[in-house]
Each structure stands twice: as C-alpha cells, then as structure tokens.
Amino acid sequence: MNPFGRIAISALIALASAHIPEPSSGGGHQRSSGEGASLYAAVFSVRGSVSGMSTGGFGVFVREDGNLWRQVTLSNVFTFGLGFFEAGKSRRYYIAGGNGLHRSTDGGNSWRILTSWKTMEVLSVVPHPVDSATIYIATPWGGHKTVDDGESWVEKMNGMRRWYVEDLLMDVRDPETLYAGSEDDLYRTTNGGELWKPMGVGGSPILAVMQHPVHHDLLLTGVEDGGVRFTTDGGMSWQSAEGLREKSIYAIASSADGKDLYAAGWETGLYRSDDNARSWRRIWNHPDVEGIFCILVDPADPAGVFVGTDGDGVFESHDRGRSWRRAGLEGGKIKQIAIYPRSQ
C-alpha cells in the first residue's frame, strides 16, 4: 500500500508533483555537482525542524559548491517538483506547486503563477524542450497544455479512462510524444496530447515513468504495490522485474550511459539493476528511512547518486552507492532533486 498515494495527495490541495525531462537544447559540456553546477531540491513538507539549511520552511532549495542549502522561493510554498528550460540565453525555472504552476526567468529571484484558480493542484510539469511557450501540466483532473506561455490553458484528456495523472514524461525522440502515469494505466500520446491511448501496463496506479537514455524503446514504470514493470519494445509487451514485486515504487532513475538503473519507494531501500531492468538487488537501506521519493544520478558522473527521502532529507553517494552520507535538509520530505545548469 502506498501511504502517500493519490488519495492523500488529492486531500492536500496545496501540493503538487513533477517529473522533468532532460533539457535537450544547447548541448555543450555537462558539469557535475562538484564543478560549479547547483543542486536543487524540492521540499514539499517538513517533519519537525529541518537542519542543513540557512533558512527554514519548505519550497525549493539550492546547494552551491557544497555549502548549506538556501531557499530560492518564497517560504512555505508546497512543492513537489521542478522544471527547467534552456535555449540560448533564455533560462526558465518552473515549480509544480499546490497553488498552481510557478515560473521564474531571473534565476529564482521572482516568481509568477501561470495558472488560474481553476488549476490549483498541479501534479507534474513538462516544458517543451525547444518552444518555451508550450508547457504541459498534469492535475487530478487530467492533462492541460498551453501554447502561449501560460496565458491560456486547454484540457488534454481525450482517451483517458481516468483523469488523475501522477507523472508525465516526454519522449526524448519526439516532443509530440508523451507518457502519462494515471490511476489505471500508462497512457501515450503521439500528437501533443490530442489523443491518449492506454499502453496496457496494468490496472494499478503508475507512480513513476522513465525512458532509458540509450535504448529508447525501454520504458520503466513504478507501480503501486506492483514493483517495476518494463517494456523493451516500446509498449507492445510488458514484464515484471525480478526482486521488486509487490512494492510501491515512487522513483526510477538512470545514469547517463544507461548502465546503472535505480529504483526505490516505500520501505524498499535503494535498488540497482545492471541488466536493463530485468533483475534488481538492494544496495542501500538506512534504518531511519521509510520512504524514498526521488533519485538523481549526476549526469556528468555516474558515481554520484542522490536520494530524497520521506522526512530524512537528502543522502548522497560518490561511489555508485557503496557508501553514503547525509547531504542536508534532515527533517524535509524531498520530492525531487536536480542538478542545474547542465550545460555551459
């Protein structure tokens, strides 16, 4: 059973979640967190006091050059995730927040809400990788899309049997193709949300979706009480991964080269697969950590792995998970961790 599942999230109208695709513009040299790039964390709530930060509350925090975390949003903005857009000199930050979708164009110094009162709870945000005016969001009432930089939004739910969407993912090969993890299945659109078709993963809620960075027909899903289910043929057939059955998986991540896959969830610890998701083994389990909500593998250094937990902050490893240390924000419930900027 997922203790922080769709029912609890719906009750917390102030919360939202996000899954962000890799920025595909710009190219250039990727930097690790130790080479000047910043580590961002979405803290969506706290448990008691939070340590390892220069300011209190919850929202979006940044850690630069290994220093303390500092807040880059207004205090106490319920935050499930982050989105980034970069093209040329244009750089935008997005927050999927409980009171709508927030955007900053000045590095987080100021924020504007792009959605109206009709869209209070945003569960996921996917900015278009090239067209900054096009943004997709997921809500408990289905998907929405803007093509005019948030001035207006159109519902995109045609074909979905149930509208509650937990996670959104854009195909790295085609920005018109997206995947939506819903209450009853994984859905796919190939025309920018005009029509969604079920992919036949199963009847349980899909909590996480990931596309392999090298083998693009390999899709992985985290299933409530169902472990990891994956396809190697673009969705024509699905398999259950060995070692994770009957577990609720919140997060799936990959190293940039696709050799190391990671998965975690509620009372699971952290698992890794080195055979393209067929089998998994647990590589880390901390006695204080009940749930792991997010995983980040440093895109420039596959040895760097970060996990965000349910109330125990961030943990980090710099040797592919053999050893770990606390990385701050203890007491914070971390929904997403991201390294940005990713290119110079």
pLDDT digits (tens, 9 = 90+) for 261-295: 999 999 999 999 999 999 999 999 999 999 999 99
Q: 290 is written with which tokens?
A: 């009940």
CA distance 30 to 193: 31
Cβ–Cβ < 8 Å for 209, 181: yes
Residue 240 lies in a domain: yes
Residues of the chain with confidence (pLDDT) below 70: 1-36, 44-57, 74-81, 341-344
Of 275, 269, 222, the closest CA to residue 249 belongs to 222
Residue 221 lies in a domain: yes
pLDDT at 192: 96
Q: How many domains does the chain have?
A: 1
Cβ–Cβ < 8 Å for 177, 188: yes
CA angle 19, 20, 22 (to 5 degrees): 140
pLDDT at 19: 33
Find the domain containing 267 and state its range: 6-340
Q: 229 is written with which tokens?
A: 């289910």
Q: Which CATH number fits the domain that encloses residue 256?
A: 2.130.10.10
Residue 1 lies in a domain: no
State in Å, rounded, how far the first CA of the chain is from the last one.
43
Instruction: Note the pLDDT tens digit of each residue in 195-219.
Output: 999 999 987 899 999 999 999 999 9
pLDDT at 78: 66
Residue 24 lies in a domain: yes
Instruction: Note the pLDDT tens digit of each residue in 318-330.
Output: 999 999 999 988 8
Residue 46 lies in a domain: yes
